Amino acid sequence: MKKVGVAILGLGVVGGGTYKILKEHRELYQKSYKIDLTVEAVLERNRERAVSLGVEPEKIAANIQEICSNPDVDIVVEVMGGVEPAKSFVLDCLHAGKSVVTSNKELFCKYNHELEVAAKKNHCGLFYEASCVGGVPVIRALLDNLQGNKILSMMGIINGTTNYILTKMAAEGAAYEEVLKEAQKLGYAEANPSADVEGYDATYKLSILSSLAFHTKIPYTKIYREGITNIAVADIEYGKKFGYVLKLLAIGKNGDNGIEVRVHPSFIKSTHPLASVNDSYNAVYITGDCVEDVMLYGRGAGALPTGSAIVGDIIYCATHTNYQYSTFKNTEGPAPGTKFIDNFESAYYIRLNATDKPGVLAKVSSVFAKCKISVAQMSQQRDPACEDGTVPLIFITHVTHENNVNRAVKLINESDEIAKVAAVIRVVS
């Protein structure tokens, strides 16, 4: 039986879950895969936590050099989070000939080109299933199961915190600030929630996933990003009347005119499979030219779901000798000639606080016509009126360009006689 030694860098929520799975399922892996996985070392500042999890004191390393020089360690699991010291530690391990499994989406998104160079040079494996969508095996699907397809698009709910917040706002009619506080108490949101609610977390994940799907480097800096901090309960309720559900979506498209990558709140039809993905669950909806539509769904975070993805990578690494690397030239920036679409097409939900007097609707229609925006649906809400005496006007447009809508918003806001734009939310067909 093949013996494989594992080291874990960090015994927080995910690291602790990983340790628990490896310890409790050791006999299962021996029987099923003919490998004996043992945790030979951990790097954890809180020794009491390590001991409480069952780690033998002599296996608690004092520094990364002890991990790198340990001949019994074959695979290193990095679950520390952040860029430093995680990046330096991972590079040290790769240069020492240790394969690495990581759940660190920020590190991998920003520096996977450097990590891959070190992995290739030292003939090591570099695995990162747990960096995106928790326990949902989307990366393995893109690498191994959907290879026969040209991936045309992907659309996903890939951040559990924002999905929980939007689900609660929709179900209870509670304001964003109120639900955020509740999410923080429950541990779904950090004390500083900006990485989640401003869309950075989803942007890092979309960078990784779209690079794999489209076989070209998609830097996170090329992704349009907009968070959920300005979402009002009123817009969620108005959206329901039109048959829509609000989600923070990560969208990637690979078309004839270029690549389109964006993260933002979106209205989606209540009949779409992603509309029923609630609370902290995640899902990715992938369209391939041969397979057509596939949706992968499950827990997007948590000790055991994320630990499941990490252990899956450990087993894959332990049972394969030919490691996979990027199918594209993996550099810091995009490949020369890669075209990115900024002026993308979408339908739009637009809410105006309109002056309650004759002729306003005609003036709004004139602005829309000038900006090449065609209205598909319109609703005038008489009750209740806004505090300033204005009346909500709500439009759902036909598909138009982003620049057209930005121009219309500017023109409307510049005219005190018409209205003020209260909300603009993209509508995904």
CA distances from 348 to 199, 239, 395, 423 (A): 20, 11, 8, 10
414 CB burial (10 A radius; 0-12, 13-18, 19+): exposed
| Amino acid residing at 243 | G
What is the rounded distance in angstroms from the CA atom of residue 210 to the CA atom of residue 200? 15
What is the rounded distance in angstroms from the CA atom of residue 323 to the CA atom of residue 116? 11
CA distances from 214 to 60, 150, 429 (A): 41, 8, 21
Torsion of CA 229, 230, 234, 238, to 10 degrees: -100
**Integer-rounded Cα radius of gyration of the chain:** 24
What is the rounded distance in angstroms from the CA atom of residue 87 to the CA atom of residue 252? 27
For 423, residues 6+ apart whose C-beta sits below 8 A from its C-beta are 230, 232, 235, 349, 350, 351
Q: Which residues are catalytic?
A: 205
What is the rounded distance in angstroms from the CA atom of residue 192 to the CA atom of residue 184? 9
Compute the half-sphere exposure of residue 279: CA atoms within 13 Å on the CB side of its CA: 6
Residue 268, beta-bridge partner list: 245, 428
Closest of 318, 323, 316 to residue 74, by C-alpha:
318
What is the rounded distance in angstroms from the CA atom of residue 185 to the CA atom of residue 143? 37
Q: How far apart are the first and last CA of the chain?
A: 52
Compute the half-sphere exposure of residue 33: CA atoms within 13 Å on the CB side of its CA: 20
Alpha helices in 293-359 (DSSP H): 303-319
CA distances from 368 to 28, 31, 397, 404, 426 (A): 63, 66, 10, 9, 16
Rounded to the nearest 5°, which phi and psi values hold at 265? -65, 140
Strand residue runs (E) in 22-73: 35-43
